[in-house]
């Protein structure tokens, strides 16, 4: 990655309080997209090369987390490194496969199509599209022992 791109990302604005909201914000921390082991998803992780349908499937599950906390929030920010690269909204339920992993019912509200410049795609019909715009492309630090962290209002 060119030095100028690294410097640009280092100066990237952090997610502000209006985007986090008044309740905790679940944050799914993923890696670069890889072929999934299961046939349902096709992919797991994030890539700008995936279609919105592929991306939604890749990010919706199967994650170790507290599913009730995610449903209570109704959305989940997705980060690659410390940058929000996608937002799932309208989360109103989940499936369990009995091993502590869950897949969420919701919509892909938007994703980053180019992180450095930054550019984004937002589905205007998705619930929470305005909040997705506030999150996408910004820095969001989170810590957790698993793939899903929970950011509280005010950091």
Q: Where are the domains of the chain?
A: 3-141
pLDDT in the model for residue 155 = 60
pLDDT per position in the chain (155 positions), as tens?
Answer: 789 988 988 888 889 888 888 889 999 999 999 998 876 778 999 999 999 999 999 999 899 999 999 999 999 999 999 999 999 999 999 999 999 999 999 999 999 999 898 899 999 999 999 999 999 999 999 988 899 999 988 76
pLDDT in the model for residue 123 = 96
d(CA 98, CA 8): 43
Query: HEC string of 108-145?
Result: EEEEEEECCCCEEEECCCCCCHHHHHHHCCCECCCCCC
pLDDT in the model for residue 104 = 97
Asked whether 86 and 108 are in contact (CB, 8 A), the reply is yes
């Amino acid at each position: 990655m060119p030095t100028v791109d690294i410097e640009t990302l280092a100066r990237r604005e952090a997610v502000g309080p209006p985007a986090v909201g008044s309740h905790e914000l679940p944050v799914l921390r993923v890696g670069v997209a890889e072929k999934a082991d299961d046939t349902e998803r096709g992919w797991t992780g994030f890539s700008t090369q995936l279609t919105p349908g592929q991306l939604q499937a890749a990010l919706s599950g199967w994650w170790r987390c507290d599913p009730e906390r995610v449903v209570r929030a109704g959305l989940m920010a997705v980060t690659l490194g410390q940058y929000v690269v996608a937002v799932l909204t309208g989360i109103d339920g989940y499936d369990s496969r009995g091993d502590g992993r869950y897949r969420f019912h919701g919509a892909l509200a938007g994703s980053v199509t180019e992180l450095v410049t930054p550019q984004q795609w937002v589905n205007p019909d998705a619930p929470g599209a305005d909040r997705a715009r506030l999150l996408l492309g910004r820095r969001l630090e989170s810590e957790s022992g698993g793939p899903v962290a929970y950011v509280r209002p005010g950091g």
